[in-house]
Structure 1
C-alpha cells in the first residue's frame, strides 16, 4: 500500500536535519507516540529507533497487546541549500509488516518540508490488504507526531 505524508517545519533544512538526527529529539518523538519502552541512536547521517507501542485494536488479535516498531533512516549528502534525501525502513519484529520508503527534506518558504513516500506491506494472505489499510493511519499519525514534537523543539 502506498503511503504519503508531509511534515512542515519552521526552520531551514540544515537546522531541521540537525533536529531529525538528534537522539534527544528522537526520544521525545517516542515518548509523544505513547511508547512504553524505546531505544534511539543517531550516528552521523543515520538514525535508529525501536519503540514498543500499544497495538491498534484491529491488529491486537494478531500481535497481542503491544508491538515493537523499528525505524532506520539513512540520509544522503546535503545539497547546497541543505536539502537531503534519505531511505527509511520500518519493520515490526515477529510480524509480517514492513515499509520501505524515501524521505525528502527540502526548503519551503521560510522553513522546510519533510515528505515521506513509501510502500507498506503486510504479508498475510487474504488479510494483508485490509491490515495495510488499518495500519496506514498509524504510520501517518507517527509522522504527524514527529512534526508536532519538532515544532515545539524548534521553538525552544
Structure 2
C-alpha cells in the first residue's frame, strides 16, 4: 500500500531563473528557516560546469513532532529527522528521495520544471510508502500532509525570492 502526492508549484519567472533558485543554497536555507525547523544542513553540488548538467541537493533537517497523533510520536519521538535528496539529471528534471533515517518507509518520485509564457511550473510527484502493519496507511497520510505543507512553504518563499 502507498499514497501518492502530486503538487504543482508555480513561479512568475523563466525556467532558467527557477532552476538557478533551486540550485541556490541560501534559498534552500530560507525555506528551512520559514518552516522553523530545529536544525538543518543544506548541500548543493553541481554535476558539471553548466546548469544543464544537473546537480545534487541534500537537505538534512530536524523538525519538531508536535501536533502529530500519539501513535505517530511513539514511532518518531519528539523530533523527526528528514533527509531530502534531489538528483537533478538535467536543468528541468530530478529524482526526489525523502527518508526518515532509522524509520521504515520512504518517499520517492520526481520533480520537473516546465515553462509556458514566462511562467514556470515545478511538478513534484511522490509515492509515499510506510511499511508498518495496521498504522502504515495512517502514517502515509500524515507524511503526505506534512510534505504538502512543506511544498506550499517552498512555493511561498520561492515567489518572494524571485520577486527580489
Give distance in 2, aligned partners of 1:20 and 1:154. 11
Query: In the alignment, which residue of structure 1 is the partner of 2:87?
Result: 74
Query: In the alignment, which residue of structure 1 is the partner of 2:18?
Result: 16
Query: In the alignment, which residue of structure 1 is the partner of 2:7?
Result: 5
2:77 is the alignment partner of 1:64: yes
2:56 is the alignment partner of 1:46: yes
Q: Any unmatched runs of 5+ in structure 1?
A: 79-83
SS at match of 2:90: coil
Give distance in 2, aligned partners of 1:101 and 1:133. 16
RMSD between aligned alpha carbons?
Answer: 1.1
Query: In the alignment, which residue of structure 1 is the partner of 2:51?
Result: none
Q: Any unmatched runs of 5+ in structure 2?
A: 47-54
SS at match of 1:57: coil
Listed one character per residue, the Cα deviations across residues 25-57 of structure 1 (whole Å, up to 9, x for unaligned) are: 010111111201000010111111011001251
The equivalences for 1:112-131 within 5 A come to 112-131=120-139
Q: TM-score, normalised by structure 2?
A: 0.88
Give distance in 1, aligned partners of 2:84 and 2:142. 19
Query: In the alignment, which residue of structure 2 is the partner of 1:81?
Result: none
Q: TM-score, normalised by structure 1?
A: 0.92
Give distance in 1, aligned partners of 2:114 and 2:87. 16
